A and B are shown apart, each in its own frame.
Chain A
Protein backbone atom coordinates (compact mmCIF):
# COMPACT_ATOMS: atom_id res chain seq x y z
CA UNK A 1 0.00 0.00 0.00
CA UNK A 2 1.21 3.49 -0.84
CA UNK A 3 0.62 6.95 0.54
CA UNK A 4 -1.85 7.87 -2.19
CA UNK A 5 -3.95 4.77 -1.41
CA UNK A 6 -4.81 5.80 2.12
CA UNK A 7 -4.62 9.58 1.90
CA UNK A 8 -7.73 11.68 2.13
CA UNK A 9 -7.81 14.11 -0.80
CA UNK A 10 -7.18 17.69 0.24
CA UNK A 11 -10.28 19.80 0.66
CA UNK A 12 -9.80 22.09 3.61
CA UNK A 13 -6.71 24.15 4.25
CA UNK A 14 -5.65 27.40 5.90
CA UNK A 15 -3.77 30.40 4.58
CA UNK A 16 -0.98 32.16 6.51
CA UNK A 17 -3.10 35.29 6.76
CA UNK A 18 -6.07 33.56 8.41
CA UNK A 19 -6.70 34.60 12.00
CA UNK A 20 -6.73 31.97 14.70
CA UNK A 21 -10.45 32.61 15.09
CA UNK A 22 -11.00 31.62 11.45
CA UNK A 23 -8.59 28.72 11.84
CA UNK A 24 -10.34 27.14 14.82
CA UNK A 25 -13.65 27.55 13.04
CA UNK A 26 -12.34 25.55 10.10
CA UNK A 27 -10.70 22.97 12.38
CA UNK A 28 -14.07 22.37 14.00
CA UNK A 29 -15.96 21.91 10.76
CA UNK A 30 -13.36 20.46 8.41
CA UNK A 31 -14.06 17.26 6.52
CA UNK A 32 -12.43 14.07 7.65
CA UNK A 33 -13.25 11.59 4.94
CA UNK A 34 -16.92 11.80 4.16
CA UNK A 35 -18.10 13.56 7.30
CA UNK A 36 -17.67 17.09 8.59
CA UNK A 37 -16.44 16.04 12.01
CA UNK A 38 -13.56 18.45 12.38
CA UNK A 39 -9.82 17.70 12.35
CA UNK A 40 -6.99 18.21 14.79
CA UNK A 41 -4.66 19.81 12.26
CA UNK A 42 -4.68 21.43 8.83
CA UNK A 43 -2.03 22.30 6.25
CA UNK A 44 -1.29 25.96 5.59
CA UNK A 45 -0.94 26.85 1.89
CA UNK A 46 0.14 30.18 0.42
CA UNK A 47 -1.65 31.91 -2.47
CA UNK A 48 0.20 29.73 -5.00
CA UNK A 49 -0.89 26.56 -3.26
CA UNK A 50 2.55 25.85 -1.83
CA UNK A 51 2.74 24.21 1.60
CA UNK A 52 4.19 26.69 4.12
CA UNK A 53 3.22 25.09 7.43
CA UNK A 54 0.86 23.05 9.54
CA UNK A 55 -1.46 24.27 12.23
CA UNK A 56 -2.56 21.77 14.84
CA UNK A 57 -4.63 21.83 17.99
CA UNK A 58 -1.39 21.66 19.90
CA UNK A 59 -0.06 24.81 18.21
CA UNK A 60 -3.19 26.62 19.34
CA UNK A 61 -2.85 25.36 22.92
CA UNK A 62 0.76 26.55 22.81
CA UNK A 63 -0.38 29.99 21.64
CA UNK A 64 -2.65 30.28 24.67
CA UNK A 65 -0.07 28.88 27.11
CA UNK A 66 2.17 31.70 28.38
CA UNK A 67 5.83 30.84 27.82
CA UNK A 68 6.78 32.00 31.30
CA UNK A 69 4.82 29.14 32.85
CA UNK A 70 7.24 26.71 31.26
CA UNK A 71 10.26 28.56 32.68
CA UNK A 72 9.30 27.63 36.23
CA UNK A 73 6.81 25.44 38.09
CA UNK A 74 3.99 27.95 38.29
CA UNK A 75 1.00 25.93 37.12
CA UNK A 76 -0.51 25.91 40.63
CA UNK A 77 -0.60 29.67 40.73
CA UNK A 78 -2.92 30.28 37.81
CA UNK A 79 -6.54 31.32 38.20
CA UNK A 80 -9.98 30.55 36.93
CA UNK A 81 -10.68 32.42 33.72
CA UNK A 82 -7.01 32.80 32.72
CA UNK A 83 -7.30 30.49 29.71
CA UNK A 84 -10.45 32.19 28.47
CA UNK A 85 -8.98 35.68 28.67
CA UNK A 86 -5.73 34.62 26.97
CA UNK A 87 -7.72 32.80 24.27
CA UNK A 88 -9.53 36.04 23.51
CA UNK A 89 -6.19 37.87 23.37
CA UNK A 90 -4.70 35.54 20.77
CA UNK A 91 -7.90 35.15 18.70
CA UNK A 92 -6.78 37.74 16.17
CA UNK A 93 -3.22 36.51 15.78
CA UNK A 94 -2.35 35.29 12.29
CA UNK A 95 -1.90 31.62 11.50
CA UNK A 96 1.63 32.35 10.20
CA UNK A 97 2.69 33.55 13.66
CA UNK A 98 2.05 30.26 15.42
CA UNK A 99 2.02 27.53 12.75
CA UNK A 100 4.72 24.86 12.72
CA UNK A 101 6.95 25.85 9.82
CA UNK A 102 8.97 22.69 9.54
CA UNK A 103 6.63 20.22 7.91
CA UNK A 104 7.45 16.68 6.97
CA UNK A 105 5.75 15.55 3.75
CA UNK A 106 5.66 12.32 1.78
CA UNK A 107 5.44 11.82 -1.99
CA UNK A 108 2.33 10.12 -3.42
CA UNK A 109 4.06 6.82 -4.02
CA UNK A 110 5.78 6.57 -0.64
CA UNK A 111 5.38 3.13 0.94
CA UNK A 112 3.18 2.95 4.01
CA UNK A 113 6.15 2.08 6.23
CA UNK A 114 7.79 5.41 5.29
CA UNK A 115 4.69 7.14 6.63
CA UNK A 116 4.86 5.21 9.91
CA UNK A 117 8.59 5.96 10.12
CA UNK A 118 7.92 9.72 9.96
CA UNK A 119 5.02 9.53 12.39
CA UNK A 120 6.97 7.67 15.04
CA UNK A 121 10.32 9.41 14.65
CA UNK A 122 8.94 12.93 14.60
CA UNK A 123 5.93 12.29 16.82
CA UNK A 124 3.41 13.62 14.29
CA UNK A 125 -0.12 12.51 13.60
CA UNK A 126 -0.71 14.05 10.16
CA UNK A 127 1.35 13.91 6.99
CA UNK A 128 0.67 16.05 3.93
CA UNK A 129 1.10 14.13 0.66
CA UNK A 130 2.69 16.11 -2.18
CA UNK A 131 2.70 15.40 -5.92
CA UNK A 132 5.64 15.79 -8.31
CA UNK A 133 4.96 19.53 -8.67
CA UNK A 134 5.18 19.95 -4.94
CA UNK A 135 1.47 20.64 -4.51
CA UNK A 136 -0.38 19.14 -1.55
CA UNK A 137 -2.86 16.59 -2.84
CA UNK A 138 -4.00 14.90 0.34
CA UNK A 139 -3.49 14.18 3.99
CA UNK A 140 -2.58 10.97 5.79
CA UNK A 141 -3.95 10.68 9.29
CA UNK A 142 -2.58 8.41 11.98
CA UNK A 143 -6.03 6.89 12.27
CA UNK A 144 -6.03 5.75 8.64
CA UNK A 145 -2.55 4.26 8.90
CA UNK A 146 -3.75 2.38 11.95
CA UNK A 147 -6.78 1.09 10.04
CA UNK A 148 -4.48 -0.20 7.32
CA UNK A 149 -2.48 -2.06 9.97
CA UNK A 150 -5.54 -3.56 11.65
CA UNK A 151 -6.96 -4.58 8.32
CA UNK A 152 -3.81 -6.52 7.50
CA UNK A 153 -3.83 -8.23 10.87
CA UNK A 154 -7.44 -9.29 10.59
CA UNK A 155 -7.00 -10.51 7.01
CA UNK A 156 -4.12 -12.71 8.05
CA UNK A 157 -6.13 -14.12 10.94
CA UNK A 158 -9.01 -14.91 8.62
CA UNK A 159 -6.73 -16.64 6.14
CA UNK A 160 -4.97 -18.72 8.83
Chain B
Protein backbone atom coordinates (compact mmCIF):
# COMPACT_ATOMS: atom_id res chain seq x y z
CA UNK B 1 0.00 0.00 0.00
CA UNK B 2 1.26 3.42 -0.85
CA UNK B 3 1.16 6.00 1.87
CA UNK B 4 -1.68 8.48 1.78
CA UNK B 5 0.14 11.75 1.62
CA UNK B 6 -2.39 14.06 0.11
CA UNK B 7 -5.75 14.05 1.83
CA UNK B 8 -8.88 15.89 0.90
CA UNK B 9 -8.50 18.07 3.96
CA UNK B 10 -5.13 19.33 2.70
CA UNK B 11 -4.85 23.07 2.93
CA UNK B 12 -3.34 24.80 -0.02
CA UNK B 13 -0.80 27.35 1.11
CA UNK B 14 0.42 29.60 -1.66
CA UNK B 15 3.90 30.09 -0.27
CA UNK B 16 7.30 30.22 -2.00
CA UNK B 17 7.38 26.44 -2.33
CA UNK B 18 3.99 26.48 -4.06
CA UNK B 19 5.16 29.01 -6.62
CA UNK B 20 8.57 27.37 -7.08
CA UNK B 21 6.95 24.01 -7.88
CA UNK B 22 4.40 25.60 -10.20
CA UNK B 23 7.07 27.62 -11.97
CA UNK B 24 9.29 24.55 -12.53
CA UNK B 25 6.27 22.67 -13.83
CA UNK B 26 5.21 25.33 -16.34
CA UNK B 27 8.74 26.22 -17.41
CA UNK B 28 9.47 22.55 -18.11
CA UNK B 29 6.34 22.26 -20.23
CA UNK B 30 7.14 25.41 -22.18
CA UNK B 31 10.73 24.36 -22.87
CA UNK B 32 9.57 20.87 -23.88
CA UNK B 33 7.11 22.44 -26.32
CA UNK B 34 9.66 24.75 -27.89
CA UNK B 35 11.97 21.76 -28.47
CA UNK B 36 14.98 24.00 -27.87
CA UNK B 37 16.33 21.51 -25.36
CA UNK B 38 15.77 17.74 -25.57
CA UNK B 39 12.69 16.83 -23.55
CA UNK B 40 14.56 14.23 -21.52
CA UNK B 41 17.15 16.81 -20.49
CA UNK B 42 14.36 19.21 -19.49
CA UNK B 43 12.69 16.51 -17.40
CA UNK B 44 15.90 15.56 -15.61
CA UNK B 45 16.83 19.19 -14.92
CA UNK B 46 13.29 19.91 -13.67
CA UNK B 47 13.39 16.89 -11.38
CA UNK B 48 16.83 17.92 -10.15
CA UNK B 49 15.52 21.38 -9.28
CA UNK B 50 12.53 19.93 -7.42
CA UNK B 51 14.91 17.88 -5.28
CA UNK B 52 17.63 20.46 -4.73
CA UNK B 53 15.03 23.07 -3.69
CA UNK B 54 13.59 20.45 -1.32
CA UNK B 55 10.10 20.77 -2.75
CA UNK B 56 10.16 16.98 -2.61
CA UNK B 57 12.74 15.17 -0.57
CA UNK B 58 14.52 12.27 -2.17
CA UNK B 59 12.54 9.70 -0.27
CA UNK B 60 9.28 11.16 -1.56
CA UNK B 61 10.58 11.29 -5.12
CA UNK B 62 11.92 7.75 -5.17
CA UNK B 63 9.68 5.83 -2.85
CA UNK B 64 6.27 7.49 -2.52
CA UNK B 65 4.22 6.47 -5.53
CA UNK B 66 1.82 9.41 -5.36
CA UNK B 67 4.55 12.02 -5.35
CA UNK B 68 7.41 10.47 -7.20
CA UNK B 69 8.43 7.90 -9.75
CA UNK B 70 5.84 5.31 -10.69
CA UNK B 71 8.12 2.28 -10.96
CA UNK B 72 5.31 0.13 -12.28
CA UNK B 73 5.27 2.27 -15.43
CA UNK B 74 9.07 2.34 -15.67
CA UNK B 75 9.59 -1.40 -15.33
CA UNK B 76 6.70 -2.26 -17.62
CA UNK B 77 8.23 -0.07 -20.34
CA UNK B 78 11.78 -1.35 -19.86
CA UNK B 79 10.69 -4.99 -19.78
CA UNK B 80 8.57 -4.76 -22.91
CA UNK B 81 11.45 -3.01 -24.70
CA UNK B 82 13.83 -5.81 -23.74
CA UNK B 83 11.41 -8.47 -25.02
CA UNK B 84 10.96 -6.66 -28.37
CA UNK B 85 14.73 -6.04 -28.73
CA UNK B 86 15.30 -9.77 -28.31
CA UNK B 87 12.58 -10.60 -30.82
CA UNK B 88 13.59 -8.22 -33.60
CA UNK B 89 16.61 -10.12 -34.98
CA UNK B 90 14.48 -13.25 -35.48
CA UNK B 91 12.88 -11.59 -38.52
CA UNK B 92 9.32 -12.08 -37.29
CA UNK B 93 8.32 -8.49 -37.96
CA UNK B 94 9.64 -8.55 -41.55
CA UNK B 95 7.74 -11.81 -41.99
CA UNK B 96 4.46 -10.34 -40.72
CA UNK B 97 4.81 -7.25 -42.91
CA UNK B 98 5.63 -9.11 -46.13
CA UNK B 99 2.93 -11.68 -45.43
CA UNK B 100 0.41 -8.83 -45.00
CA UNK B 101 1.39 -7.30 -48.32
CA UNK B 102 0.83 -10.65 -50.00
CA UNK B 103 -2.58 -10.99 -48.37
CA UNK B 104 -3.40 -7.78 -50.14
CA UNK B 105 -2.62 -9.58 -53.42
CA UNK B 106 -0.51 -6.64 -54.53
CA UNK B 107 -3.53 -4.32 -54.68
CA UNK B 108 -2.42 -0.90 -53.37
CA UNK B 109 -5.57 -0.07 -51.42
CA UNK B 110 -6.02 -3.55 -49.99
CA UNK B 111 -2.42 -3.42 -48.82
CA UNK B 112 -3.03 0.01 -47.29
CA UNK B 113 -6.06 -1.31 -45.39
CA UNK B 114 -4.35 -4.53 -44.27
CA UNK B 115 -1.29 -2.59 -43.13
CA UNK B 116 -3.57 -0.27 -41.13
CA UNK B 117 -5.11 -3.25 -39.35
CA UNK B 118 -1.75 -4.99 -38.77
CA UNK B 119 -0.27 -1.72 -37.48
CA UNK B 120 -3.22 -1.22 -35.12
CA UNK B 121 -2.97 -4.77 -33.77
CA UNK B 122 0.82 -4.59 -33.32
CA UNK B 123 0.47 -1.16 -31.65
CA UNK B 124 -1.98 -2.61 -29.18
CA UNK B 125 0.81 -4.82 -27.87
CA UNK B 126 4.03 -2.98 -28.72
CA UNK B 127 4.72 0.67 -28.22
CA UNK B 128 3.69 2.83 -31.14
CA UNK B 129 7.15 4.06 -32.08
CA UNK B 130 8.45 0.50 -32.31
CA UNK B 131 5.50 -0.50 -34.46
CA UNK B 132 5.97 2.43 -36.81
CA UNK B 133 9.70 1.71 -37.11
CA UNK B 134 8.87 -1.90 -37.98
CA UNK B 135 6.12 -1.19 -40.50
CA UNK B 136 7.23 1.93 -42.41
CA UNK B 137 10.38 0.44 -44.03
CA UNK B 138 8.24 -2.31 -45.52
CA UNK B 139 5.54 0.13 -46.67
CA UNK B 140 8.20 2.19 -48.46
CA UNK B 141 9.51 -0.94 -50.16
CA UNK B 142 5.96 -1.90 -51.21
CA UNK B 143 5.25 1.61 -52.53
CA UNK B 144 8.48 1.43 -54.51
CA UNK B 145 7.51 -1.98 -55.92
CA UNK B 146 4.03 -0.87 -56.91
CA UNK B 147 5.26 2.53 -58.11
CA UNK B 148 2.69 4.39 -56.01
CA UNK B 149 3.07 7.42 -53.72
CA UNK B 150 4.35 6.33 -50.28
CA UNK B 151 2.57 9.19 -48.46
CA UNK B 152 -0.80 7.45 -47.83
CA UNK B 153 1.01 4.44 -46.37
CA UNK B 154 3.18 6.56 -44.10
CA UNK B 155 0.36 8.77 -42.79
CA UNK B 156 -1.96 5.82 -42.33
CA UNK B 157 0.72 3.93 -40.42
CA UNK B 158 1.01 6.74 -37.85
CA UNK B 159 -2.76 7.20 -37.52
CA UNK B 160 -3.48 3.47 -37.22
CA UNK B 161 -0.76 2.99 -34.64
CA UNK B 162 -2.23 5.71 -32.42
CA UNK B 163 -5.70 4.21 -32.76
CA UNK B 164 -4.50 0.65 -32.11
CA UNK B 165 -2.41 1.73 -29.12
CA UNK B 166 -5.59 2.98 -27.44
CA UNK B 167 -7.00 -0.54 -27.22
CA UNK B 168 -4.96 -2.09 -24.42
CA UNK B 169 -3.21 -1.35 -21.15
CA UNK B 170 0.22 -1.76 -22.76
CA UNK B 171 -0.63 -0.13 -26.10
CA UNK B 172 0.19 3.47 -25.30
CA UNK B 173 2.00 5.16 -22.39
CA UNK B 174 -1.12 7.11 -21.25
CA UNK B 175 -2.90 3.81 -20.70
CA UNK B 176 0.05 2.36 -18.78
CA UNK B 177 0.06 5.44 -16.54
CA UNK B 178 -3.71 5.49 -16.06
CA UNK B 179 -3.76 1.76 -15.27
CA UNK B 180 -1.06 2.17 -12.69
CA UNK B 181 -2.68 5.14 -10.95
CA UNK B 182 -6.23 3.83 -11.03
CA UNK B 183 -5.12 0.24 -10.34
CA UNK B 184 -6.91 -0.98 -13.44
CA UNK B 185 -5.95 -4.29 -14.98
CA UNK B 186 -5.35 -5.53 -18.51
CA UNK B 187 -8.83 -7.02 -18.83
CA UNK B 188 -10.46 -3.73 -17.77
CA UNK B 189 -8.92 -2.13 -20.85
CA UNK B 190 -9.89 -5.07 -23.07
CA UNK B 191 -13.49 -4.84 -21.89
CA UNK B 192 -13.81 -1.07 -21.97
CA UNK B 193 -11.49 0.29 -24.65
CA UNK B 194 -10.95 -2.54 -27.15
CA UNK B 195 -14.62 -2.57 -28.28
CA UNK B 196 -14.62 1.10 -29.21
CA UNK B 197 -11.22 0.79 -30.89
CA UNK B 198 -12.58 -2.02 -33.08
CA UNK B 199 -15.55 0.16 -34.02
CA UNK B 200 -13.20 3.06 -34.74
CA UNK B 201 -11.06 0.85 -36.99
CA UNK B 202 -14.10 0.01 -39.16
CA UNK B 203 -14.80 3.70 -39.63
CA UNK B 204 -11.11 4.38 -40.15
CA UNK B 205 -10.82 1.85 -42.98
CA UNK B 206 -13.89 3.42 -44.60
CA UNK B 207 -12.35 6.87 -44.17
CA UNK B 208 -9.05 5.93 -45.80
CA UNK B 209 -10.99 4.34 -48.65
CA UNK B 210 -12.76 7.67 -49.17
CA UNK B 211 -9.47 9.57 -49.02
CA UNK B 212 -7.12 7.32 -50.99
CA UNK B 213 -9.12 4.32 -52.18
CA UNK B 214 -9.72 5.45 -55.73
CA UNK B 215 -6.42 7.22 -56.22
CA UNK B 216 -4.13 4.26 -55.60
CA UNK B 217 -3.63 2.37 -58.84
CA UNK B 218 -0.89 0.10 -60.11
CA UNK B 219 -0.13 -2.21 -63.04
CA UNK B 220 -0.58 -5.97 -63.01
CA UNK B 221 3.07 -6.75 -63.68
CA UNK B 222 4.11 -4.68 -60.67
CA UNK B 223 1.81 -6.67 -58.39
CA UNK B 224 3.89 -9.71 -59.31
CA UNK B 225 6.90 -8.13 -57.56
CA UNK B 226 4.98 -8.43 -54.29
CA UNK B 227 3.58 -11.86 -54.97
CA UNK B 228 7.04 -13.22 -55.76
CA UNK B 229 8.46 -12.21 -52.37
CA UNK B 230 9.18 -15.22 -50.18
CA UNK B 231 8.30 -14.15 -46.65
CA UNK B 232 9.80 -17.33 -45.18
CA UNK B 233 13.25 -16.01 -46.03
CA UNK B 234 12.70 -13.27 -43.45
CA UNK B 235 12.96 -15.70 -40.54
CA UNK B 236 16.61 -15.61 -39.52
CA UNK B 237 16.52 -17.55 -36.27
CA UNK B 238 13.64 -20.04 -36.04
CA UNK B 239 14.72 -21.39 -32.65
CA UNK B 240 14.88 -17.96 -31.02
CA UNK B 241 11.56 -17.14 -32.68
CA UNK B 242 9.93 -20.14 -31.00
CA UNK B 243 11.38 -19.12 -27.65
CA UNK B 244 10.21 -15.51 -28.14
CA UNK B 245 6.70 -16.54 -29.10
CA UNK B 246 6.56 -18.85 -26.09
CA UNK B 247 7.60 -16.08 -23.71
CA UNK B 248 5.34 -13.52 -25.41
CA UNK B 249 2.34 -15.84 -25.08
CA UNK B 250 3.21 -16.37 -21.44
CA UNK B 251 3.41 -12.61 -20.88
CA UNK B 252 0.10 -11.97 -22.64
CA UNK B 253 -1.52 -14.75 -20.63
CA UNK B 254 -0.03 -13.17 -17.53
CA UNK B 255 -1.53 -9.81 -18.52
CA UNK B 256 -4.96 -11.37 -19.04
CA UNK B 257 -4.90 -12.90 -15.57
CA UNK B 258 -2.78 -10.38 -13.67
CA UNK B 259 -5.84 -8.85 -12.05
CA UNK B 260 -6.98 -12.21 -10.72
CA UNK B 261 -3.47 -13.22 -9.66
CA UNK B 262 -2.85 -9.85 -8.01
CA UNK B 263 0.33 -9.16 -9.94
CA UNK B 264 0.89 -5.64 -11.24
CA UNK B 265 1.65 -5.67 -15.03
CA UNK B 266 5.32 -4.76 -14.49
CA UNK B 267 5.86 -7.96 -12.51
CA UNK B 268 4.59 -10.03 -15.44
CA UNK B 269 6.65 -8.10 -18.00
CA UNK B 270 9.85 -8.16 -15.93
CA UNK B 271 9.52 -11.89 -15.44
CA UNK B 272 9.03 -12.33 -19.20
CA UNK B 273 12.05 -10.17 -20.02
CA UNK B 274 14.23 -12.13 -17.60
CA UNK B 275 13.02 -15.47 -18.95
CA UNK B 276 13.63 -14.51 -22.58
CA UNK B 277 17.09 -13.15 -21.76
CA UNK B 278 17.87 -16.48 -20.13
CA UNK B 279 16.48 -18.51 -23.05
CA UNK B 280 18.36 -16.40 -25.59
CA UNK B 281 21.65 -17.78 -24.19
CA UNK B 282 23.16 -14.35 -24.49
CA UNK B 283 26.53 -13.95 -22.82
CA UNK B 284 26.58 -10.28 -23.60
CA UNK B 285 23.32 -8.68 -22.46
CA UNK B 286 25.00 -5.30 -22.81
CA UNK B 287 23.73 -4.44 -26.28
CA UNK B 288 20.20 -5.71 -25.60
CA UNK B 289 19.99 -3.49 -22.53
CA UNK B 290 21.69 -0.60 -24.28
CA UNK B 291 18.95 -0.63 -26.92
CA UNK B 292 16.31 0.16 -24.29
CA UNK B 293 14.96 3.64 -25.04
CA UNK B 294 16.69 5.21 -22.08
CA UNK B 295 15.80 8.79 -23.08
CA UNK B 296 12.10 7.84 -22.89
CA UNK B 297 12.57 6.09 -19.56
CA UNK B 298 14.34 9.09 -18.04
CA UNK B 299 11.74 11.41 -19.52
CA UNK B 300 9.14 9.51 -17.48
CA UNK B 301 11.27 9.50 -14.35
CA UNK B 302 11.85 13.26 -14.53
CA UNK B 303 8.22 14.04 -15.28
CA UNK B 304 6.91 11.97 -12.39
CA UNK B 305 9.04 14.02 -10.02
CA UNK B 306 8.11 17.38 -11.58
CA UNK B 307 4.41 16.50 -11.43
CA UNK B 308 4.86 15.09 -7.92
CA UNK B 309 6.03 18.52 -6.82
CA UNK B 310 2.88 20.29 -8.03
CA UNK B 311 0.79 17.53 -6.45
CA UNK B 312 2.51 18.03 -3.10
CA UNK B 313 2.14 21.81 -3.02
CA UNK B 314 -1.55 21.53 -3.94
CA UNK B 315 -1.47 23.13 -7.39
CA UNK B 316 -3.08 20.04 -8.94
CA UNK B 317 -5.75 20.05 -6.24
CA UNK B 318 -6.49 23.67 -7.05
CA UNK B 319 -6.93 22.75 -10.72
CA UNK B 320 -9.22 19.85 -9.88
CA UNK B 321 -11.40 22.17 -7.77
CA UNK B 322 -11.62 24.53 -10.73
CA UNK B 323 -12.81 21.74 -13.03
CA UNK B 324 -15.42 20.64 -10.53
CA UNK B 325 -16.55 24.24 -10.20
CA UNK B 326 -16.83 24.46 -13.96
CA UNK B 327 -18.80 21.25 -14.39
CA UNK B 328 -20.60 21.63 -11.03
CA UNK B 329 -19.83 18.04 -10.13
CA UNK B 330 -21.69 16.67 -13.16
CA UNK B 331 -19.54 13.67 -14.05
CA UNK B 332 -20.95 13.19 -17.54
CA UNK B 333 -20.03 16.76 -18.34
CA UNK B 334 -16.65 16.20 -16.69
CA UNK B 335 -16.02 13.11 -18.83
CA UNK B 336 -16.86 14.97 -21.99
CA UNK B 337 -14.80 18.02 -21.08
CA UNK B 338 -11.85 15.79 -20.20
CA UNK B 339 -12.14 13.73 -23.39
CA UNK B 340 -12.29 16.68 -25.76
CA UNK B 341 -9.83 18.81 -23.85
CA UNK B 342 -7.43 15.85 -23.69
CA UNK B 343 -7.78 15.24 -27.42
CA UNK B 344 -6.88 18.80 -28.39
CA UNK B 345 -4.24 19.08 -25.68
CA UNK B 346 -2.60 15.84 -26.84
CA UNK B 347 -2.62 17.05 -30.41
CA UNK B 348 -0.39 19.93 -29.32
CA UNK B 349 1.62 18.65 -26.37
CA UNK B 350 3.13 15.27 -25.64
CA UNK B 351 0.41 13.11 -24.11
CA UNK B 352 2.82 11.62 -21.58
CA UNK B 353 3.33 14.76 -19.46
CA UNK B 354 -0.31 15.61 -20.03
CA UNK B 355 -1.57 12.35 -18.56
CA UNK B 356 1.05 12.48 -15.82
CA UNK B 357 -0.63 15.74 -14.78
CA UNK B 358 -4.23 14.65 -15.32
CA UNK B 359 -3.95 11.44 -13.27
CA UNK B 360 -3.42 13.10 -9.89
CA UNK B 361 -5.92 15.77 -10.88
CA UNK B 362 -8.65 13.18 -11.41
CA UNK B 363 -7.75 11.47 -8.13
CA UNK B 364 -7.98 14.81 -6.31
CA UNK B 365 -11.33 15.41 -7.92
CA UNK B 366 -12.54 12.02 -6.71
CA UNK B 367 -11.42 12.87 -3.18
CA UNK B 368 -13.50 16.04 -3.27
CA UNK B 369 -16.54 14.14 -4.49
CA UNK B 370 -16.30 11.15 -2.15
CA UNK B 371 -14.29 12.30 0.86
CA UNK B 372 -15.14 9.20 2.89
CA UNK B 373 -13.76 6.69 0.41
CA UNK B 374 -10.18 5.63 -0.15
CA UNK B 375 -8.10 3.06 -2.02
CA UNK B 376 -9.71 1.11 -4.80
CA UNK B 377 -13.24 2.16 -3.74
CA UNK B 378 -12.25 5.72 -4.47
CA UNK B 379 -10.06 5.13 -7.53
CA UNK B 380 -12.55 2.85 -9.24
CA UNK B 381 -15.78 4.46 -8.05
CA UNK B 382 -18.39 3.45 -10.67
CA UNK B 383 -19.06 7.09 -11.46
CA UNK B 384 -15.36 7.81 -11.87
CA UNK B 385 -14.69 5.00 -14.36
CA UNK B 386 -16.07 6.81 -17.44
CA UNK B 387 -13.79 9.73 -16.56
CA UNK B 388 -10.72 7.46 -16.70
CA UNK B 389 -11.85 5.97 -20.01
CA UNK B 390 -12.52 9.42 -21.40
CA UNK B 391 -9.04 10.53 -20.40
CA UNK B 392 -7.50 7.46 -22.07
CA UNK B 393 -9.51 7.87 -25.26
CA UNK B 394 -8.92 11.60 -25.52
CA UNK B 395 -5.20 11.46 -24.75
CA UNK B 396 -4.45 8.51 -27.04
CA UNK B 397 -6.64 9.42 -30.00
CA UNK B 398 -5.76 13.11 -29.72
CA UNK B 399 -2.24 12.20 -30.78
CA UNK B 400 -3.50 11.96 -34.37
CA UNK B 401 -4.45 15.64 -34.46
CA UNK B 402 -1.08 16.97 -35.60
CA UNK B 403 2.37 15.93 -36.78
CA UNK B 404 3.75 16.50 -33.27
CA UNK B 405 0.80 15.00 -31.40
CA UNK B 406 2.41 11.60 -30.94
CA UNK B 407 5.93 10.23 -31.15
CA UNK B 408 4.80 7.86 -33.92
CA UNK B 409 3.84 10.88 -36.06
CA UNK B 410 7.20 12.55 -35.45
CA UNK B 411 8.97 9.36 -36.56
CA UNK B 412 6.83 9.05 -39.69
CA UNK B 413 7.42 12.67 -40.68
CA UNK B 414 11.16 12.12 -40.18
CA UNK B 415 11.06 9.03 -42.38
CA UNK B 416 9.11 10.83 -45.09
CA UNK B 417 11.78 13.52 -45.11
CA UNK B 418 14.49 10.91 -45.51
CA UNK B 419 12.51 9.38 -48.36
CA UNK B 420 12.67 12.76 -50.08
CA UNK B 421 8.94 13.46 -49.74
CA UNK B 422 8.52 15.40 -46.53
CA UNK B 423 5.03 15.40 -45.07
CA UNK B 424 4.61 18.98 -43.89
CA UNK B 425 2.97 19.94 -40.61
CA UNK B 426 -0.16 21.18 -42.40
CA UNK B 427 -0.32 18.21 -44.72
CA UNK B 428 -0.30 15.82 -41.78
CA UNK B 429 -3.01 17.86 -40.07
CA UNK B 430 -5.14 17.81 -43.21
CA UNK B 431 -5.56 14.05 -42.71
CA UNK B 432 -4.86 13.70 -38.99
CA UNK B 433 -7.23 16.33 -37.61
CA UNK B 434 -10.42 15.06 -39.35
CA UNK B 435 -9.52 11.49 -38.37
CA UNK B 436 -8.94 12.62 -34.78
CA UNK B 437 -12.28 14.43 -34.68
CA UNK B 438 -14.07 11.44 -36.19
CA UNK B 439 -12.55 9.05 -33.66
CA UNK B 440 -13.29 11.33 -30.69
CA UNK B 441 -16.90 11.79 -31.85
CA UNK B 442 -17.24 7.99 -32.00
CA UNK B 443 -15.71 7.75 -28.51
CA UNK B 444 -18.09 10.40 -27.21
CA UNK B 445 -21.08 8.44 -28.48
CA UNK B 446 -19.62 5.25 -27.02
CA UNK B 447 -18.99 6.69 -23.56
CA UNK B 448 -22.38 8.37 -23.51
CA UNK B 449 -24.30 5.26 -24.60
CA UNK B 450 -22.35 2.72 -22.60
CA UNK B 451 -21.89 4.52 -19.30
CA UNK B 452 -24.71 7.02 -19.11
CA UNK B 453 -27.59 5.57 -21.17
CA UNK B 454 -27.25 1.79 -20.81
CA UNK B 455 -24.88 1.88 -17.84
CA UNK B 456 -23.05 -1.44 -18.21
Contacts and interface: CB of A to CB of B under 8 A. Distances in A.
A83 B7 CA distance: 67
A72 B142 CA distance: 14
B4 interface: no
B236 interface: yes
B234 A68 contact: no
Nearest to B93: A72
B137 A74 contact: yes
Nearest to A67: B418
Interface string A50-87: 00000000000000001111011110111100100000
Nearest to A89: B420
Contacts of A76: 229-230, 233-234
Interface in B133-164: 133-134, 136-138, 140-141, 144-145
Contact of B94 (A66, A74, A78, A79): A74
Interface in A128-149: none
A92 to B, nearest CB: 13
Contacts of A68: 136-137, 140-141, 415, 419
Of B133, B141, B228, B418, most buried by chain A (CB within 10 Å of CB) is B141
A82 B236 CA distance: 24
Contacts, number: 45
B213 interface: no
Contacts of A77: 94, 98, 141, 229, 233-234
A68 B141 CA distance: 8
Interface in B402-435: 415, 418-419
B22 to A, nearest CB: 42
Given A71-B133, A72-B134, A66 B98 contact: no
A72 B94 contact: yes
Interface residues of A, number: 13
Given A77-B98, A79-B225, A69 B233 contact: no
Contacts of B259: none
Nearest to B101: A77
A69 B91 CA distance: 14
Nearest to A75: B233
A95 B132 CA distance: 32
Interface string B77-96: 00000000000000101100
Nearest to A70: B137
B135 to A, nearest CB: 10
A74 B138 contact: yes
Interface of A: 66-69, 71-74, 76-79, 82
Q: Which 6 A-B pairs have the closest CB atoms?
A: A68-B137, A71-B137, A68-B140, A76-B233, A72-B137, A79-B225
